[in-house]
A and B are shown apart, each in its own frame.
Chain A
């Protein structure tokens, strides 16, 4: 595997389900990010982790819970989502925070 990988690539879930998104970077980077991209809207930064420590929570609802066990892995735990949470969720990494970011392919999430 190279670059930034994300699984699953597509996810359909009901509002009462619990699911997790996984991101792994193979670039030796120290910062990782979660973004949300809804149709016709700009990228919205959700969370930033720098050396495994969360350094940014961009007023994200608590139904989204991030986890960063090490510098290579990032998770986004989802529970009791709403239909308006349907979007493309993108993971990115960079050598250091605010440096050049490389994106994974994204997870297309649909909440029914």
Chain B
């Protein structure tokens, strides 16, 4: 059973701090990794995709990938209350499967 694991949280951080969200996956052959943000009652919204080991930055967001450790993370700098949401990690399955596997999500709460 291929899995994507995330800490459900809530992860509580003060406004202006760095929020660090982590994800591990079991399929060693996975090549594509995604972070989605989902506000309560809304649909998931793509934040970042990452395909190579290392860091990828987009504004206040940085995705980090370590395939050897089967670990992907999302850093949010200068966290704002509007960042409060559930963050979903998604990983593609290798071996010809045409689908993504989603983690259960980490709930982030940014307090003023």
Which residues does A use to contact B, with CB under 8 Å? 31, 33, 41-43, 45, 48, 50, 55-56, 88, 90, 97-106
Contacts and interface: CB of A to CB of B under 8 A. Distances in A.
B43 A50 contact: no
B30 to A, nearest CB: 10
Contacts of B34: 100-101
B88 A56 contact: no
Interface residues of B, number: 21
Contact of B98 (A43, A48, A105): A48
B102 A43 contact: yes
Nearest to B104: A42
A42 B103 contact: yes
A98 B46 contact: no
A56 B43 CA distance: 22
B45 A99 contact: no
B100 interface: yes
B104 A48 contact: no
Contacts of A88: 43
Given A45-B99, A90-B44, A103-B44, 20 more contacts: A41-B104, A42-B88, A42-B102, A43-B44, A43-B88, A45-B100, A48-B99, A55-B98, A56-B98, A90-B43, A97-B98, A98-B98, A98-B99, A98-B100, A100-B34, A101-B34, A101-B46, A101-B90, A102-B46, A104-B43
